[in-house]
Structure formats: C-alpha cells, structure tokens
C-alpha cells in the first residue's frame, strides 16, 4: 500500500483501538510482534481504521454487537473479554453488557449466555474502580404470554407471526415458549432498548452463519423498531472482522433480500 494510505488508515485505526483498549492497545500489538507483526497492522488498519471508524454506528453499538456475536459464537473467550472491557471503555454500562449476554441465550442457548456472563464477571472484577456491580432485579409485570404477543407484534410483525403459525402443526408449545420466554421474558426486559436488541441480534445471527431464516426475520425487526438500513449494513459489515468475510457477505445477501421485500411491499 502507499505510505500515505497506510499512515492515514493506521493513525485513524490506532486512535480508535486506543479508545477501545483504553491504554492496552500497545500490549495487544506488541503481543503479536514475535509471531505475526503484520496481524497487528491489519487489526489497526483494517479492523479499526477501515471498519470500526466508519460512520453509521456508535462505538457503543459496535461494542455491544461484537460482544453479542463473540458470546454467541462461543469460541473466542480472550476476544470476548477484550471487547467486554472495550464496551465499558467506550461508555457502555455493565448492565447493558449483561442484558446483551442474557439476550444471547435466546439465539445461541443458555451455555453461550452463561459463558458470556462468566467472561463479563472476570472483566468486571478486573476493574475494581468501577465499584460493586448491582444486577437488575426488576422483572416486567403482567402476563408473559400477552406481553410476548405484543412484543412479537411490535418487533417482528408479520414475519414473526408466520413463525408462530408455522409451529402450530408440529410443536405448538415451542410457539408458546417463543412468545412467553423469548419475547415475554427476555425482549420485555428493561435495560436494553428494542433497536439495540435487534441490532445485536442481526450481528450475532450474521456471525453464527447458521440461522438464515432468523437473520431475515430480525433484519425486518430491526427496521420495524426504528433501526435503519445503514445500521443493518454497518453491523453486518463489522462482522467481517469478527466472523470472517463470508459471514458478512452472506449477511448482506440476506439484507438485500429483506430490503427488496420491503421495497416491494
């Protein structure tokens, strides 16, 4: 690359990485010097200089999406801890991070959520200056089923109802659990707004790469609750760095279909 290009991307990326790493950025890069120094450059120039510093998503949105994706993938504990710390460094609250990890259990199962919470605890405990963490204890009131039906209608609308209807003939109870647990218990929790829930859902579904139908439903959901197409494209693009380019490319294929369907409608 031309030196000019390099300096521009490197400086921009280094500044962003420094915000996320909050002083540990050189340790991250120096740790690669003995085995693959270019990887440090790629992380700075591409990961942060090209992707992370793009407009369209805030630092907080990017960190919460990365935390959700890494927790759902469940195979990158060191990076999950780094990005939980990074989320705190760019202004996310511990409660928001915990809410994202609870949210993960709907899409990747309890083990992924529990191991994510273990990582969060380790990070929180490594930052005693933040003071003791007080977990949320309030739960949404009223009937879970009614609450879930309303949340599903608000978020996923027609596409969500189709999922419920499709289960009637084969597993009607799972339809009930989707309404009562996923939407009545988890989505109805306070502490994370719906656009953020849908943004991190798009992020983790893109990163998992195994849940195409649900990625499409929640791309609609993100747009239904006030998220933008730009946010959808940005969060999918960001997954190139955390789950690889194929995951991002396949996520964009889903986004193209969803956008076209909405334009057609």
Q: Which of residues 56-85 bind its own copies (CB under 8 A)?
A: 70, 72-76, 78-79
**CA 197/CA 64 separation, integer angstroms:** 10
Q: Give the residue, chosen from 18, 46, 53, 127, that forms a contact with its own copies under the rule CB under 8 A.
A: 46
Nearer to its own copies by Cβ, of 74 and 157: the residue is: 74
Work out the number of other CB atoms within 10 angstroms of the CB of residue 156: 24
**CA 68/CA 80 separation, integer angstroms:** 9
Nearer to its own copies by Cβ, of 19 and 185: the residue is: 185
Binding residues for its own copies restricted to 146-165, rule: CB under 8 A: 163
Q: Give the containing element (helix H, strand E) for 94.
A: helix 94-108
Residue 93 beta carbon to its own copies: minimum distance, rounded to whole angstroms = 13
Q: Give the residue, chosen from 144, 197, 216, 220, that forms a contact with its own copies under the rule CB under 8 A.
A: 144
* Residue 10 binds its own copies, judged by CB under 8 A: no
Q: Give the residue, chosen from 12, 50, 90, 153, that forms a contact with its own copies under the rule CB under 8 A.
A: 50
Among the residue ranges 16-24, 41-49, 57-65, 192-200, the one whose residues contact its own copies (CB under 8 A): 41-49
* Residue 20 binds its own copies, judged by CB under 8 A: no
Nearer to its own copies by Cβ, of 91 and 146: the residue is: 146
**CA 252/CA 98 separation, integer angstroms:** 28
**CA 217/CA 233 separation, integer angstroms:** 15
x/- mask, its own copies, residues 175-204, rule CB under 8 A, reads --xx-xxx-xxx--x---------------
**CA 215/CA 211 separation, integer angstroms:** 6
Binding residues for its own copies restricted to 219-248, rule: CB under 8 A: 233, 236-237, 239-248
Three-state DSSP state, 134: coil
Q: DSSP readout, 189-254?
A: -SSS-HHHHHHHHHHHHHHH-S-HHHHHHHHHHHHHTT--HHHHHHHHHHHHHHH-HHHHHHHHHH
């Amino acid at each position: 690359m031309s030196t000019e290009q390099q300096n521009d991307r490197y400086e921009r990326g280094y500044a962003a990485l420094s915000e996320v790493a909050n002083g540990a950025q050189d340790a991250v890069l120096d740790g690669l010097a003995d085995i693959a120094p270019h990887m440090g450059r790629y992380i700075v120039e591409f990961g942060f200089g090209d992707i992370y510093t793009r407009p369209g998503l805030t630092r907080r949105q990017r960190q919460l999406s990365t935390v959700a994706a890494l927790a759902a993938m469940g195979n990158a504990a060191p990076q999950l801890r780094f990005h939980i710390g990074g989320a705190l460094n760019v202004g996310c609250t511990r409660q928001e991070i915990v809410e994202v990890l609870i949210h993960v259990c709907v899409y990747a199962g309890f083990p992924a959520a529990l191991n994510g919470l273990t990582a969060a605890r380790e990070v929180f405990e490594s930052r005693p200056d933040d003071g003791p963490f007080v977990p949320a204890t309030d739960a949404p009131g009223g009937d879970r089923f009614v609450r879930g039906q309303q949340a599903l209608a608000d978020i996923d609308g027609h596409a969500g109802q189709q999922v419920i209807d499709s289960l009637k003939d084969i597993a009607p109870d799972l339809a009930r659990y989707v309404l009562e647990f996923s939407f009545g218990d988890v989505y109805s929790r306070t502490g994370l707004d719906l656009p953020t829930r849908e943004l991190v859902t798009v992020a983790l579904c893109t990163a998992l790469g195994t849940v195409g139908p649900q990625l499409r439903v929640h791309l609609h959901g993100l747009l239904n609750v006030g998220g933008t197409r730009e946010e959808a494209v940005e969060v999918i693009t960001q997954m190139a760095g955390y789950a690889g380019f194929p995951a991002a490319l396949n996520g964009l294929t889903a986004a193209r279909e969803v956008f076209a369907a909405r334009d057609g409608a």
